[in-house]
Amino acid sequence: MTVRGAAILTALALLAAPSGCGRKTMPKPPQLVAPRAVQEVSLATQSGGILVRWSRPTEYVDGARMEDLGGFVVERNRYNSSFEEIARVPVTDRGRFQKAKRFDYLDTRLLPGATYHYRIVAYTTDGYYSSPSGAAEITWNPPGTTTAPAAPAATPAGDPKP
C-alpha cells in the first residue's frame, strides 16, 4: 500500500468514526438563545451617585433554563437622548451552586438636576444579547437637596411574560 493510500484510508476511518463530543441536541436559531430581557430595574440616590439595581434573567427567549449568562450592559440617556453604554457588569458566579439574583452598578458621572433613564441588556458567554429592559427614570439631586422618586421600569415591548 502506498503512503497516499494509507492516508486516504486513515481519513475515511476518521470520517466514519462516531463523534463523541458533547450533548446532541437540535440546533436553535440565534434569536431563541438570547437571554430574556431583564424585568426589574430600580434606581436609588446614594451619597456618591445613582444606584442601578436589576434582577438576573434565568431563561432564554424560548423558555429554556439559561446557564451561560455572561454579563450585563448598563445603558443611560439624559433628557431623552439616545441610550449609550456606560458600563459592563460581568457575571462571575457561573460555576457556583448559589448564584446572585440581583446585580447593581453605581453611576457617579452625573449632573445635579439632570433627569436620567437607565436600561439593562443581558448577554451570554457566546455573545447573544437580550432586548433592553424597560427604562427606569430618576432626577439626580445630590444628598441634601430634594430627591425625585424613581419611576419603575416599564415592561419591554414584545417580550413575553414568563
Sorting pLDDT into bands at 50, 70 and 90, what band is 58? very high
Q: What is the pTM of this model?
A: 0.71
62-71 tens-digit pLDDT: 999 998 999 9
* Residue 78 phi, psi (nearest 5): -130, 130
pLDDT of residue 159: 45
Q: What is the CA radius of gyration of the chain?
A: 23
Please determine, looking at this structure, whether the domain spanning 30-139 carries the CATH number 2.60.40.1180.
no
Instruction: Give the C-alpha separation, 36 to 160, whole Å.
Output: 9
Burial grade of 76 (CB within 10 A; 0-12, 13-18, 19 or more): buried
Q: Average the pLDDT over 106-123 and give the result.
A: 96
- The ranges assigned to domains in the chain are 30-139
Q: Which residue has the higher pLDDT, 23 or 45?
A: 45
The predicted structure's pLDDT at residue 27: 74
Please, where are the H alpha helices in the chain?
3-16
